[in-house]
Amino acid sequence: MGYPSMFLDVPDEFGFCFTQAFQSVGLGLATAIGAALARPGRLPVAALGDGGALMGASELETVVRLGLPMVVVVYDDAAYGAEVHHFGPAGHPLDIVRFPETDFAAIARGHGFESVTVRAVADLEPVRQWLAGPRSAPLLVDAKVTRDEPSWWLEEAFRGH
């Protein structure tokens, strides 16, 4: 969740809600739905890790049913990243915190989203098209990120734990 904090621009202090303060995986999409309902004049963007997206996947139906024109970005490294960083350096097995490749784009389409799988910058063209309109359905971006390189901000956050 560090990357959205570092790289997403928001118009003002009311434009960002960081749910990690609750230390509970899976709250991101539900929180974004609440934000979308509270501020209907804004484009809500939910930035989720893949583990949290799997835990909150039922809320994809809620987004569609409520007609929320939101963007859901899933940072997909096929693992619970915090646990990989927490347990890996200590030599613990990581098989229970890694999971098989998940097609979040297909899951979202099944709920009525438009969706795109992104592995390179060139794959983002459908996002530009969606933003240009008419935005008749919400958009999910399955951002396949590397699982081979550790997240530097998590590594730093867990240093000394």
Q: What is the pLDDT of residues 50-90, one digit of tens each?
A: 999 999 999 999 999 999 999 999 999 999 888 888 888 88
pLDDT value for 1: 67
pLDDT value for 8: 81
**Mean pLDDT along residues 137-156:** 83
Q: How far is CA 40 from CA 3, 32, 135, in A?
A: 25, 11, 14
pLDDT value for 66: 97
Span 13-50, pLDDT tens digits: 888 887 766 667 888 999 999 999 999 999 999 999 99
Higher-confidence position of 157 and 69: 69
Domain coordinates in residue numbering, the chain: 22-157
- Strands (E) in 65-119, as ranges, are 71-76, 114-118
Residue with tokens 């229970």: 96
Q: What is the CATH number of domain 22-157?
A: 3.40.50.970
Angle formed at CA 101 by CA 97 and CA 102, multiple of 5 degrees = 100
**Mean pLDDT along residues 88-105:** 91
pLDDT value for 154: 73
pLDDT value for 130: 97
Q: Residue 96 pLDDT > 80, yes or no?
A: yes
